[in-house]
């Protein structure tokens, strides 16, 4: 199960840089296309400005969604760590209690009168 999660996170780790590269490439391609189009300079600048604003909004949306997902994942991770820590503390307490009981049992056996000698 751990391996499946690791593989999944690796794929996610590869996707985010790809997405950023894709968005930057699309923005650059759009800008070059607009600059080389047979339009007036003012019209090209206006279209370029609109295109950049749309890309900025799209990138902002991706960043916000990614941030939200990261916060959710970190919250999930924190709760898992807290749960495991609690289990570990419980196991330590149980081990300490068992050691105390065994120690007490051995002390009682040592202090008990021995039956064959006078």
Distance from C-alpha of 44 to C-alpha of 50, rounded to nearest angstrom:
10
C-beta separation of 48 from 31 below 8 A: yes
- State the average pLDDT over residues 7-20: 71
89 falls within a domain = yes
113 falls within a domain = no
- Check residue 87 and give its pLDDT: 94
**In this model, does residue 116 exceed pLDDT 80?**
no
Structural domain boundaries, residue 73: 2-105
Q: Is the model more confident about 1 or about 6?
A: 6
- Count structural domains, the chain: 1
* pTM (2 d.p.): 0.40
Distance from C-alpha of 88 to C-alpha of 73, rounded to nearest angstrom:
22
- Check residue 118 and give its pLDDT: 47
23 falls within a domain = yes
**In this model, does residue 5 exceed pLDDT 90?**
no
pLDDT digits (tens, 9 = 90+) for 20-79: 888 888 888 887 876 776 767 788 788 888 988 998 898 889 889 988 888 888 888 888
C-beta separation of 28 from 55 below 8 A: no
């Amino acid at each position: 199960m751990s391996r499946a999660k690791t593989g999944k996170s690796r794929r996610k780790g590869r996707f985010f840089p790809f997405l950023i590269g894709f968005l930057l490439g699309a923005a650059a391609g759009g800008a070059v296309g607009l600059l080389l189009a047979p339009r007036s300079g003012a019209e090209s600048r206006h279209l370029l400005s609109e295109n950049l604003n749309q890309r900025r909004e799209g990138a902002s949306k991706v960043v916000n969604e990614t941030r939200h997902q990261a916060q959710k994942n970190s919250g999930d991770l924190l709760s898992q760590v807290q749960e495991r820590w609690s289990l570990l503390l419980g196991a330590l307490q149980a081990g300490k209690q068992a050691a105390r009981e065994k120690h007490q049992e051995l002390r009682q056996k040592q202090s008990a009168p021995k039956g064959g000698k006078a």
